[in-house]
């Protein structure tokens, strides 16, 4: 593994999950509802943050890969 591996960079790992989650939520909205507006983006970022705050596995899994 290189030092740029998502497994060794918890922040990068969590960031990718959050970005992918927000993009997925944006794409679920109908095209005619301005799904790429700032308001919708903020709504989806808040949803993703709330989901992450309840999902400890997202943080624990990559942390387990760090050498002791």
In tens, the pLDDT along 2-16 reads 445 545 577 777 788
The answer for residues whose C-beta is within 8 angstroms of residue 26's C-beta and 6 or more apart is 35, 36, 40, 41, 44
d(Cα 9, Cα 48) in Å, to the nearest integer?
20
Global pTM value: 0.60
Token pair, residue 7, equals 């497994």
Q: Tell me the mean pLDDT in the region 54-58.
A: 78
């Amino acid at each position: 593994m290189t030092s740029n591996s998502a497994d060794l960079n918890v922040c990068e790992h969590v960031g990718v999950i959050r970005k992918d989650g927000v993009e997925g939520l944006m794409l679920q909205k109908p095209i005619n509802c301005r799904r790429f507006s700032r308001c919708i983006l903020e709504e989806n970022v808040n949803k993703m943050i709330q989901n992450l705050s309840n999902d400890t596995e997202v943080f624990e899994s990559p942390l387990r890969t760090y050498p002791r």
